[in-house]
């Protein structure tokens, strides 16, 4: 796919199609990279574009990179400026998503420590499961990676090989994607998103030690469910039979936002009442409807 988008990498703005990486690098061979997906949303009156929780995404990127001994040499504030500038250079004025990847661009072994490069790759308005209003999940036979194998709480490219096995297996069985159990046999997360269930008007979501990514959307929902929607949120382990008997289930993540689940294996969910309330609050918040959450919005145009 050809693209005229401008990306920032190795200190320069260049055309997306000109961005390249050393084929012998450990990023290319062993998936040694860490990354973030960060959304920007247009304001309610369309006069502004806001990054949502940009600082939190940048912090997680640096934590991920430290965790696997990749050193991002530039300062967080400088990267933040480059991310904002990339959207401006592309003159994006509508909802967009940016992928920021820290990668190694030199020949070498997976055993070495590296200083890494960063690429900022923007896309106009890409939405997961764009043509669907609900999705069906396969409770996978694949187990989620765990803290003693590959820490799922960091966003490393190689973690997605685990997601890929589960996702492709789910597709083969006629589902949209998978839901994975962790090595304790409790509910973990989906292939690229976290999960909530609704039981008697309370929200429940697994804790970080259920082998999940420390999702920024999940943290946002935990806060807004209480403060905006006046709902209780329990962060606790979820057993398989509990989620199969839940009133509602939804996925959440930067890309998928808040997405209703219609099925897990043979269990069907017909109510989306609470899910829709959470989705409405989330999608209004990211566009600047709540003054108390301006702290999470970074305006792109001055």
Q: Which of 215, 275, 281, 298 binds ligand PMP (CB under 6 A)?
A: 215
Q: How far is the CB of 191 from ligand PMP (least distance, A)?
A: 7
Q: Which of 135, 116, 129, 169 is nearest to 261 (CA)?
A: 135
Q: Which of 99, 192, 242, 267 binds ligand PMP (CB under 6 A)?
A: 192
Using DSSP's 3-state secondary structure scheme, residue 37 falls into strand
DSSP letter assigned to residue 193? S
Using DSSP's 3-state secondary structure scheme, residue 169 falls into helix
Q: Tell me: does residue 121 bind ligand PMP (CB under 6 A).
A: no
CA distances from 297 to 176, 199, 214 (A): 31, 31, 19
Residue whose CB is less far from ligand PMP, 6 or 79: 79
CA distances from 267 to 61, 181, 249 (A): 36, 16, 11
Q: How far is the CB of 188 from ligand PMP (least distance, A)?
A: 9
Q: How far is the CB of 14 from ligand PMP (least distance, A)?
A: 26
CA distances from 199 to 136, 242, 274, 302 (A): 19, 9, 10, 44
Q: Tell me: does residue 42 bind ligand PMP (CB under 6 A).
A: no
Q: Tell me: does residue 162 bind ligand PMP (CB under 6 A).
A: no
Q: How many residues in the shown chain lie near ligand PMP by CB under 6 A?
A: 12
Q: Of 14-22, 86-94, 216-224, 225-233, which part binds ligand PMP (CB under 6 A)?
A: 216-224
Query: Token digits for 261?
Result: 């689940």
Q: How far is the CB of 20 from ligand PMP (least distance, A)?
A: 25
Q: Tell me: does residue 194 bind ligand PMP (CB under 6 A).
A: yes
Residue whose CB is less far from ligand PMP, 6 or 54: 54
Q: Which residues contact 50 (CB under 8 A, 6 or more apart)?
A: 40, 41, 42, 43, 286, 287, 288, 297, 298, 299, 300
Q: Tell me: does residue 189 bind ligand PMP (CB under 6 A).
A: yes
Residue whose CB is less far from ligand PMP, 108 or 192: 192
Residue whose CB is less far from ligand PMP, 22 or 146: 146
Q: Which residues contact 145 (CB under 8 A, 6 or more apart)?
A: 151, 152, 159, 162, 211
Q: Tell me: does residue 48 bind ligand PMP (CB under 6 A).
A: no
The answer to whether the beta carbons of residues 21 and 105 sit under 8 Å apart is yes
Q: Which residue has the tokens 């069907």?
A: 268
Q: Tell me: does residue 253 bind ligand PMP (CB under 6 A).
A: yes
Alpha helices in 43-100 (DSSP H): 54-67, 76-89
Q: How far is the CB of 129 from ligand PMP (least distance, A)?
A: 14
- Interacting residues with ligand PMP (CB under 6 A): 37, 189, 192-194, 213, 215-218, 253-254
């Amino acid at each position: 796919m050809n693209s005229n988008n401008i990306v920032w990498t190795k200190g320069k703005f260049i055309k997306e199609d000109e961005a390249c990486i050393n084929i012998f690098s450990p990023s290319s061979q062993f998936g040694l990279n860490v990354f973030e997906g960060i959304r920007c949303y247009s304001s309610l009156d369309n006069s502004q574009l806001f990054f949502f929780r940009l600082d939190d995404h940048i912090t997680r990127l640096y934590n991920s990179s430290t965790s696997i001994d990749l050193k991002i040499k530039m300062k967080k504030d400088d990267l933040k400026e480059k991310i904002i500038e990339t959207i401006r250079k592309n003159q994006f004025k509508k909802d967009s998503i940016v992928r920021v990847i820290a990668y190694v661009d030199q020949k070498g072994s997976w055993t070495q420590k590296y200083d890494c490069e960063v690429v900022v790759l923007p896309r106009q308005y890409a939405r997961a499961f764009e043509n669907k209003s609900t999705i069906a999940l396969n409770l996978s036979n694949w187990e989620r990676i765990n803290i003693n194998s590959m820490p799922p709480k960091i966003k490393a490219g190689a973690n997605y090989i685990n997601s890929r096995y589960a996702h492709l297996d789910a597709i083969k069985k006629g589902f949209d994607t998978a839901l994975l159990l962790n090595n304790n046999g409790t509910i973990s997360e989906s292939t690229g998103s976290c999960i909530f269930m609704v039981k008697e008007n309370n929200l429940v979501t697994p804790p970080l030690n259920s082998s999940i990514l420390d999702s920024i959307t999940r943290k946002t929902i935990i806060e807004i469910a209480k403060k905006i929607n006046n709902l209780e949120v329990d962060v606790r382990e979820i057993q398989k039979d509990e989620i199969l008997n839940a009133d509602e289930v939804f996925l959440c993540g930067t890309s998928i936002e808040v997405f209703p689940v219609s099925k897990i294996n043979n269990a069907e969910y017909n109510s989306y009442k609470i899910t829709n309330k959470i989705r409405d609050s989330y999608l209004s918040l990211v566009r600047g409807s709540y003054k108390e959450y301006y702290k999470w919005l970074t305006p792109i145009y001055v």
